[in-house]
Chain A
Amino acid sequence: GQQLNQSPQSMFIQEGEDVSMNCTSSSIFNTWLWYKQDPGEGPVLLIALYKAGELTSNGRLTAQFGTTRKDSFLNISASIPSDVGIYFCAGYAYSGAGSYQLTFGKGTKLSVIP
C-alpha cells in the first residue's frame, strides 16, 4: 500500500521560531491533509490541499501540495506554546475497487520552549 514518509519525527524549537515539516511518498495523491493532534484528543484538520502546486494558508500555518503530487510541506511561522502537539500529514489516493483511502504519516511531535 501507499506509505508516507514524514519528517522530522520530532523537533524542539524556541518560541517565536518558524517550523517546517514535510511528507514525501513514492505514490501520487489526490488530496493532502494536515492534522494536529493534542494529547488524548482526536486529530483536528488544519489545512486541506486539492491541486498540485496549491499553496494554502490558515493563520500562521502554510501548506503546499507538491507539483509532483508526491509530497507536501507544512510551515508554522512565529511559533507559540499552544502549537505544541503532534502534526500528521495524510494523503488521499485511489486504493482500488472504486474506493479511496487516507494514508497517514507517522507524525511530527513539536515541542515549543517558551
Chain B
Amino acid sequence: GAVVSQHPSRVICKSGTSVKIECRSLDFQATTMFWYRQFPKQSLMLMATSNEGSKATYEQGVEKDKFLINHASLTLSTLTVTSAHPEDSSFYICSARAAGTQRVNIQYFGAGTRLSVL
C-alpha cells in the first residue's frame, strides 16, 4: 500500500513554543492532505483539509492561526502548532489522498505525532 511518513513521532515542548509536524507521501502524489487530532479512546477528528498550492480549509472550531497548515508540494504538508499550550497536547495524524488514480477515495495515514506541551 501507499506510504505516508510523518515526523516527528513524538515531541515534547515548553508552553509558548511552536512545533512543526511534517507529513510526506513517499510513493505517490497527494493533491489533498488531511490533518486529524485524536484524543484518548476516541475516533479521529478532522482538523483541516489542505490542497496543494491553496489555503487549507479548517473544520468548525479549529483555530487557523493556531494550527498553521502549509501544503507546498504534492508530497509534503506541514502542520505548525503555534504558541503551544498544555491543552494542545494530543495525538496528531496526517493523511494523504492519492491524485490521478482510480482509487482517489482512499486515504493513507501517517504513524502520528504525540505532542506533549509542558
> Interface residues, chain A, CB within 8 Å of chain B?
30-31, 33, 35, 40-45, 48, 50, 88, 90, 92, 99-102, 104-107
Contacts and interface: CB of A to CB of B under 8 A. Distances in A.
Interface stretch (B62-70, B71-79, B100-108): B100-108
B117 interface: no
Looking at B6, B46, B105, B112, which has the most chain A CB atoms within 10 Å of its CB? B105
Instruction: Please report whether the interface of chain B is mostly helix, strand, loop or mixed according to DSSP.
Output: strand
B81 to A, nearest CB: 18
Contacts of B4: 42
Interface of B: 1, 4, 6, 34, 42-44, 46, 49, 91, 93, 95, 103, 105-112, 114
A99 B46 CA distance: 14
B88 to A, nearest CB: 18
A98 to B, nearest CB: 11
Contact of A102 (B1, B103, B107, B111): B107
Contact of B111 (A35, A41, A92, A104): A41
B103 A42 contact: no
